[in-house]
Structure 1
Amino acid sequence: MNLQELNKIGLTHEGSKNTAEKLNELLANYQIFYMNVRGLHWNIKGKDFFVLHEKFEELYNGSLENIDEVAERILTLGVTPLHSYKVYTKISKIEEVENVFDSVAAVNTVLDGLRQLLIIEREILAVASEINDEGTVSLMSDYITEQEKLVWMFSAVVAK
C-alpha cells in the first residue's frame, strides 16, 4: 500500500471514512441521549429524587465528555463531525423524550438509550477493527465496558 492511500494517521481513506460515518451516527445518538438525561435530571420527582437527580447529573456530565471525544476522533480520522440538532434528530435511533417525571420511566429511558449506544459502539468496534484503527477500538471498548456496568446498575433500580 502506498502512502497516498493512507491518511495522516496511517489508515486508509475509505476505511477512515466508513468508521467516521458510524462515529457520526454515534455522535447523533449521544447528543439526543445527553439531552434526554439532562431533562430527566431536571424533571425527576418522587421518593428517588435525590439519588436519581445526582446519578443523572453524573451520567450527562460523562456523556458530554464522550460526545467531545467522539467528535475529536471523527476529526482525527479526517472527517467533519455532525453538529446540528436537525441532523441529529434525523439519524438518531434514540428518540427525544419530554416531561418524564416518574423514576421507573426515567430509568427505563436511560436503559433504552444505553442499549442503543451499545449497539452502535459494537458496530463501530467491528468496523474499526477491520482497518486496524486501534484508537477507535480502544475508545469503543472503554465506552462499552463503562456502559455495560451502567446498564447493570440502572437495571437494579427497576428490578422486581
Structure 2
Amino acid sequence: MNDIDIGINAEDREKVAEGLKRLLADSYTLYLQTHNFHWNVSGPQFRELHLMFEEHYTELAVAVDDIAERIRTLGIAAPGTYKEFARLSSIEEVEGTPSSEQMVDILTKGHEQVVKTSREVLKLAQSADDESTVALVSDRMRIHEKTSWMLRATRS
C-alpha cells in the first residue's frame, strides 16, 4: 500500500486507531449481546423488546462496519476475532439467559459503556485533528445515549 498522506501523522493515526479498536470491540460485544437477547427474550414485554432489540442489533451491525472501515482508512488492521474483541472490550460477556428486566439493565449499561469509550476516543481524535473520526464517534455517542435512554424508559 502507498504511504498514507491525509494530514494526520503516523503516530496519531496509530493512537486514534487503537482507541477505535476498543470502540469496535465494545460495539461488537454489545451487538452480540443484543442479538442473543433478541433471540431469547420472554415475558410480558416480549414483542416490544424483541422488536426493539432487533432495531438495536441491526443498527450496531452497520456501526461495527463503519468503525472497522475507519480503522482501515487510518492504515491500521482492524481486529476481527472473538479473542481480540474479548481482550479489547470493556463490556462483560453474559452467562445464561437473564430475565427480560435484566436484559434491559445489561444492555443499558452496555450502551452507557460504549458512550464512555467513545468519549475517550473522541479526545484522541480531537488532539490528532482527525475530524472524520470525531464525526463518526460523535454520531456513535449520540445514538448510544439515546438508546440507553430508551432502554431506561422501558423500566419506569
SS at match of 1:99: coil
Q: How many residues matched?
A: 154
Match for residue 138 of structure 2? 141
Displacement after TM superposition at 1:101 (Å):
4.3
Corresponding position: 1:52 with 2:49:
yes
1:15-94 aligned within 5 A = 15-94=12-91
Partners of 2:149 and 2:28 in 1: how far apart?
22
SS at match of 2:71: helix
Q: Is the 8 A contact 1:36 1:98 kept in 2?
A: no
Partners of 1:52 and 1:98 in 2: how far apart?
19
Off by >3 Å, runs of 4+ in structure 1: none
Query: What CA RMSD, in Å, does the superposition of the two structures yield over aligned residues?
Result: 1.2
Displacement after TM superposition at 1:32 (Å):
1.1
Partners of 1:107 and 1:147 in 2: how far apart?
14
Match for residue 94 of structure 2? 97
| TM-score where L is the length of structure 1 | 0.92
Residue segments in structure 1 that go unaligned for 5+ positions in a row: 1-5
Displacement after TM superposition at 1:57 (Å):
0.5
Q: Is the 8 A contact 1:44 1:102 kept in 2?
A: yes
| TM-score where L is the length of structure 2 | 0.94
SS at match of 1:158: coil
Q: Deviations over 1:79-124 (max 9, x none)?
A: 0000110111122110111333422101011111101100110111
Moved more, 71-80 or 140-149: 140-149
